[in-house]
């Protein structure tokens, strides 16, 4: 469960939105409903621990009963999908996917997890491919799988599929929903496409501009 308590984010002396309180349960997906410049991406970055020095922030972030807003990003166990896939061009697909897998797994277990993930995404036997040979939709799927294989306890998505055509977006969103339900992850997504509301299973998150 991901809980945000009295969260406000801004820059310098300007707060972007009024204090936000919300709770997202395991397997629940919510979309932030707010205009451009309202602080959607800033909110996600603060939750994930990726804020900049210029950012002002206040409030609390709780994940599965533990307060995490004081922790560095690498210790928060929150997956983040960016607008760009951000794949490593010098690594194969398997190496990209293995990058986030916890080191506690044996080599054989890592290989099996990578193969199983590719099969679930309809990309079986593509371990040795170069990322630059993939289509945009395939790259997006690999970015998603890499995030999932890192075993996050929550998932944040900042318009990661906005550049894809409608059919491909729907295919990948189906994969997202399947993985989210399988792993029981709370999810917050940013999207400017109103059709994505149909993908969510809880009411939109409203950001009220700071007065």
Residue 125: the pLDDT is 87
211 burial (CB, 10 Å; 0-12 / 13-18 / 19+) is exposed
Query: CB of 124 within 8 A of CB of 155?
Result: no
What is the pTM assigned to this prediction? Answer: 0.92
**Which of the four pLDDT bands, split at 50, 70 and 90, describes residue 54?**
confident
12 within some domain: yes
Mean pLDDT, to the nearest integer, of 1-17? 92
pLDDT tens digits, 143-159: 999 999 999 999 999 98
Higher-scoring residue by pLDDT: 80, 167: 80
110, part of any domain: yes
Q: Does 18 have pLDDT greater than 90?
A: no
Inside any domain, residue 50: yes
The encoded tokens of residue 205 equal: 């998150």
Number of domains present in the structure of the chain: 1
Range of the structural domain that residue 15 is part of: 2-206
pLDDT surpasses 90 at 186: yes
The arithmetic mean of pLDDT across residues 24-48, rounded, is: 92
Is the residue at 104 inside a domain?
A: yes
Mean pLDDT in residue range 29-40? 88
pLDDT-derived band at 42, boundaries 50, 70, 90: very high
Distances (CA, A) of 56 to 44, 51, 52: 14, 9, 9
Q: For residue 80, with 0-12 CB atoms within 10 Å meaning exposed, 13-18 middle and 19 or more buried, which class applies?
A: buried
**DSSP helix/strand/coil, 89:** coil
**Which helix (H) or strand (E) segment is 94 a member of?**
helix 93-98
* Range 104-131 average pLDDT: 92
**Residue 93 maps to which CATH number?**
3.40.50.300
User: Would 211 be classed as within a structural domain?
Assistant: no
Residue 155, domain member (yes or no): yes
With respect to residue 146, please indicate whether it lies within any of the assigned structural domains. yes
Q: Which two tokens mark 41?
A: 């991406």
């Amino acid at each position: 469960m991901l809980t945000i308590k009295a969260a406000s984010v801004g820059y310098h002396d300007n707060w972007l939105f009024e204090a936000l309180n919300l709770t997202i349960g395991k397997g629940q997906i919510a979309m932030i409903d707010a205009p451009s410049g309202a602080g959607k991406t800033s909110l996600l970055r603060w939750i994930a621990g990726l804020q900049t020095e210029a950012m002002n922030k206040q409030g609390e972030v709780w994940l599965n009963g533990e307060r995490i807003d004081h922790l560095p990003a690498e210790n928060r166990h929150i997956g983040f999908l960016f607008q760009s896939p951000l794949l490593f061009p010098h690594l194969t697909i398997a190496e990209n996917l293995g990058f986030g897998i916890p080191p506690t797994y044996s080599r054989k277990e890592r290989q099996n997890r990578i193969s199983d993930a590719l099969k679930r995404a309809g990309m079986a036997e593509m371990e040795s491919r170069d990322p630059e040979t993939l289509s945009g939709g395939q790259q997006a799927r690999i970015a998603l799988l890499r995030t999932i294989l890192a075993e996050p306890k929550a998932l944040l998505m900042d318009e990661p599929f906005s550049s894809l055509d409608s059919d491909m977006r729907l295919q990948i969103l189906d994969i997202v929903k399947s993985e989210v339900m399988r792993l029981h992850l709370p999810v917050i997504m940013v999207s400017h496409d109103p059709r994505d509301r149909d993908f969510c299973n809880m009411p939109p998150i409203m950001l009220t501009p700071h007065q």
